[in-house]
Amino acid sequence: MRSLPLPLALTARLTPVVVLACAGWAMSSGPAATAAADHRPSQRTPTGPASAPSSAEVPKAYATAPAACSSVPAATVKSLVPGAKTSGKEIPSTDTSLRRTCSWNALKGYDYRWLDVSFEITDSDDAAKEEFQQRVAEKSGGGEVPGVGDAGYSVVNLTTEDKQETREGVVLVRASNALVVVTYNGSDFETRKAPSTDEINKGAIKAARSAVAALGSEASG
């Protein structure tokens, strides 16, 4: 079976996905303001020194983003993106300690698959909650993903361009102060149909579970 080059329409559609993903991470992960420490000298009274001011800094569960390209096991990559290099390709980030993204994509025969896994580390659980809720609101029509992180959400959409269908699933996960975003899509260039909703949704959730597990190695001590 001969391989076909990607249609220009699909290539044009996918190229801004990577650009927008990088921009989205950069725009949404600015450091939140932290409370300033009180540096005034301790006041003493006849009965003894005043109590030292308490720190307002809230400990973070995750201090840095894990290596995105090693967050999904090779066996999972092979099953979700047949023909792709399991090492993946890391997308450049302005700050790899806070944002990391890896992509895998391949055309095997007539079947095309694309997988993105992204991590974002925020300054607090509250910041992550707010960002998670905002992104869920922007992607209506999905549903909750139970048993993954502190909150999980998935949505699958079908698009058609030049009579070629592409089905894409997105899974959003919040785990303490970290956000995980998985994007998984596919097309069949022989039938011009897309993979089923079930296949795309289950594949995206499987990758998301692996990615959340990878956060454990980056937990703050």
The rounded percent of the chain whose pLDDT value lies above 90 is 70
**Into how many domains does the chain fold?**
1
**Domain contains 24:** yes
**Domain contains 39:** no
pLDDT digits (tens, 9 = 90+) for 14-45: 444 443 344 343 434 443 333 334 444 444 44
pLDDT at 71 over 90: yes
Please report the pLDDT score of residue 110 as a whole number. 96
Task: State the average pLDDT for the chain.
Answer: 82
The domain containing residue 134 runs over which residues?
Answer: 8-28+64-218
**Domain contains 19:** yes
**Domain contains 210:** yes
Question: Which residue type sits at 20?
Answer: L
Which domain CATH number covers 93? Answer: 3.40.1000
**Domain contains 180:** yes
**Domain contains 143:** yes
DSSP secondary structure of 146-210: TTSSSEEEEEEEEEEETTEEEEEEEEEEEETTEEEEEEEEEEETTT-----HHHHHHHHHHHHHH
